[in-house]
Amino acid sequence: MSQTELMATAPPPRPGFFQRSVQPLFGTPLNAVITIVCLWLFWIVAKAAWGWAVTRAVAEGGGAICRAGSGICLPFLAAKARFMIFGVYPYDEHWRPALAMLVFFVAIGVSMIPRFWGRWLLAVWAFALVAGMVLIAGGAFGLRPIPTTQWSGLPLSFILTAVGLALGFPLGVVLALARASKLPAIRVIAVFFIEVIRGVPLISILFMATVMLPLFMPTGVTVDKLLRAQVAIIIFAGAYIAEAVRGGLQAIPRGQYEAAASLGLHYWQAMRLIVLPPALKIVIPPLVNISIGFFQDTTLVTIIGLLDFLSTVRTAMLDPEWVGAAVLEGYLFAATIYLVFSYGMGAYSRYLERRLRTGFD
């Protein structure tokens, strides 16, 4: 490489502090006014937030003191934190869902590191799901059985999301392949299934599973309510994932399919070895997007009487002792937890996108 070429590709000189920050903000009179107004608004909000969270904070007392005060109600958070997270799960057994969540997070953490990607991750996940279920449900290894009506709070939200996505994913891949199939019957069935499920809101499917299904059952036969909601979420997730995966399949050039066929691979081999690996890599961002959406959509199960995380927070706020005393605190607590997990998923998705910039461009 010659000297002149190097000169030509050298970056322009780095702008100084003044040029980078002051000029864009105060360069013209209009910009200066906008900047000052924004700073002023920021100051007002920050001052109010500081006053609420720090100077006027109510450090101890009960609901009456919090209602009288105008700051954050810390005793509410202290008294109700465990309830908001674990809900009506028996108090003495809270370590079980806590441990189950830990196992779950470790499994997620391991799966997030590309170096560990491989077949044995499936085993890790199988172990994590079984261990988590045994811990929460009990009935084995001397653990007291806990009925599903007492599963609640954050663990319930995680179960609904994790199982929904873990089982919805294979369903979605199969549906996507079926929709791209050359066989008209299979294609029509897949299109019908996907479009019907995507064409109705999740709430209506949950209602269908909770209200209608038991009426079709013979007298005396009941299916666990959590199971019904879970199946509804799996089916719903399957339909959405199918459409994302279909996008990936369509992005694979024809030549790849033809190359697989010319190697003499039959359909499943071609899909498994040639088409699906790059197709699934392409759709990782939309899949993470769907995951975030479903994590938040699980709050809808509250309308069929399951106590997910948001409902346990609201239940805590309606304890007669605290009612009306800690509305903002409760919702902020819920928002913080949702934000942490959703942001985490989003950040990971962006990392993956950078790392897996495969594509056929």
- Is 11 a binder of other proteins (CB under 8 A)? no
Structure tokens at 100: 């189950």
Rounded to the nearest whole angstrom, what is the least distance from the CB of residue 226 to other proteins in the complex? 11
**Nearer to other proteins by C-beta: 276 or 325?**
325
Selected from 12, 142, 145, 220, the binder of other proteins by CB under 8 A is 220
In angstroms, the first-to-last Cα distance of the chain is 27
Size of the site for other proteins (CB under 8 A): 51
| Contact (CB, 8 A) for 193 and 239 | yes
Selected from 98, 180, 327, 332, the binder of other proteins by CB under 8 A is 327
Distance CA 101, CA 158 (A): 8
Distance CA 264, CA 356 (A): 29
- Is 274 a binder of other proteins (CB under 8 A)? no
Rounded to the nearest whole angstrom, what is the least distance from the CB of residue 72 to other proteins in the complex? 17
The amino acid at residue 220 is G
- Is 149 a binder of other proteins (CB under 8 A)? yes
* The total number of residues written for the chain in this structure: 361
Structure tokens at 267: 């359909």
Selected from 15, 90, 201, 255, the binder of other proteins by CB under 8 A is 90
Selected from 51, 67, 174, 231, the binder of other proteins by CB under 8 A is 67
Structure tokens at 228: 């019904």
Selected from 114, 147, 201, 344, the binder of other proteins by CB under 8 A is 147
Crossing angle for the helix pair 95-112 and 120-137, to the nearest 10 degrees: 170
Rounded to the nearest whole angstrom, what is the least distance from the CB of residue 277 to other proteins in the complex? 35
- Is 80 a binder of other proteins (CB under 8 A)? yes
E-strand ranges in 88-193 read none
| Contact (CB, 8 A) for 330 and 68 | no
Structure tokens at 174: 């199969």
List residues near other proteins by CB under 8 A. 63-64, 67, 79-80, 82-83, 86-91, 147, 149-150, 152, 207, 210-211, 214-215, 217-225, 302-307, 311-312, 314-321, 323-325, 327
